[in-house]
Structure 1
Amino acid sequence: MDEWELIAKCQENEPEAFEQLVKPYLAMAYRTAYLIIHDKHLAQDAVQEGLIEAYQHIDRLDKKRGVAFRNWLYRIITFRALNLVRKQKPVVEYEEMIPEEALTPLDNVIQREEQRQIWQAIRSMKAEHRAVIILYYYEGFSVSEIAKITGSFEGTVKSRMHKARKLIAQQLDKGCISSDFLREGAMTHD
């Protein structure tokens, strides 16, 4: 059964179809919310609230408009996460999200330090800058998809990404680790 058939069944109030529809996106939705919020419980709340909202408003999806369910769901989850960030107190401690394997012990140390500094820079950003970086680099959305998800213009998304990259580069420069990979266009996939 394709996505639009599942959406049609959801619009006919079949909860099993909704479960089948969202299941492929749950892990990534949680990861996105967690990366924006930095709190496991609040990320779960954001996803849960987002799923409830998606279920209640599934009738708004229209095949003629061509909105992908994935983008629509991420828009809802991202807004829920950003709303919770605005209400949240300072962010929690850094938790490593780095794979264990490395080429050499020295490479491992350098990679971990660089990742820690990048993550600290991302955590210190305003929520709207953090969201575009997470959606782009961690979730693989294009600039145009992020614009739709966040309800912004593409130029605004690009501006926020540029500012976020500069903040990350400044953080890396403070730590004396190369920031070549963050130059404009070095990590683009549009």
Structure 2
Amino acid sequence: MRDESEINRAVEEYADMVRRVCFYHLKNREDTEDVFQNVFLKYMLCDKPFKDREHEKAWLLRVAINACKDYVKSFFRRNAIPLETLREMEAGGMEEHREVLEAVLALPGKYKDVIYLHYYEGYSASEIGRILGKKENTVYSLLSRGRGMLKEELGGERIHE
């Protein structure tokens, strides 16, 4: 079990990132907070040493994504939540990009994850591959297909590569 100072540092450093990942998958505040707490509870109970901060960050991202997927599959969450709840959340700095954000959220999970990690968190294809357990070329393919889906959905608007 990790000590209190280490947990506080991780929460302070990664809370916003974990919340964003959870919100993109779950699309409402209440479920986001539930999964957010579970992610940091797993962090607290994990005895695994991390090589460095990047390894720790990647671990938290992977745990958050998996926890969201498990939550979505759970009995209590089988009904879809409308994207209208997204409008309630003021996404800092993303208000003007609502249409793009909604299009990203509507993508199938495998595309949504790579698009999010690349464009919102700034990871390279090789880093995304390590985080998601996929080959780098697979990540490039998913990014390309995801951009194509977004381009089609957004009426041909250019998606920055």
The TM-score with structure 1 as length reference comes to 0.69
Partner of 2:49: 61
Q: Deviation string for 1:14-65 (max 9, x for gaps)? A: 22322123321111211121112211111112211111112211x22243x9
Match of 2:68?
81
1:70 aligned partner: 57
1:39 maps onto 2:28 in alignment: yes
Kindly state the Cα deviation for residue 69 of structure 1 after the two structures are TM-superposed: 1.2
The 2-side partners of 1:123 and 1:21 are apart by 26
Q: Is the 8 Å Cα contact of residues 91 and 123 (structure 1) preserved in structure 2? A: no
Partner residue in 2 for 1:28 = 17
* Cα distance in 2 between the residues matched to 1:139 and 1:52: 23
- Contact 1:50/1:77, CA 8 A, preserved across alignment: yes
Point out the structure with max Rg over C-alpha: 1
> Offset of 1:67 from its aligned partner?
6.1
Shift of 1:148: 2.1
Whether 1:52 and 2:41 are equivalent positions in the alignment is yes
Selected match of 2:132 from 141, 147, 150: 150
Deviation at 1:145, TM superposition (A): 2.0
Check the 8 A contact 2:39/2:63 in 1, yes or no: yes
Counterparts of 2:6 and 2:93, CA distance in 1: 35
- Give 4+ residue runs of structure 1 displaced > 6 Å after superposition: none
User: What residue is the counterpart of 2:81 in the other structure?
Assistant: 91
The two structures, once aligned, show a CA RMSD in angstroms of 2.7
- Where do 1:156-171 residues align within 5 Å? 156-171=138-153
Report the identity percentage.
23
Unaligned runs of 5+ in 2: none
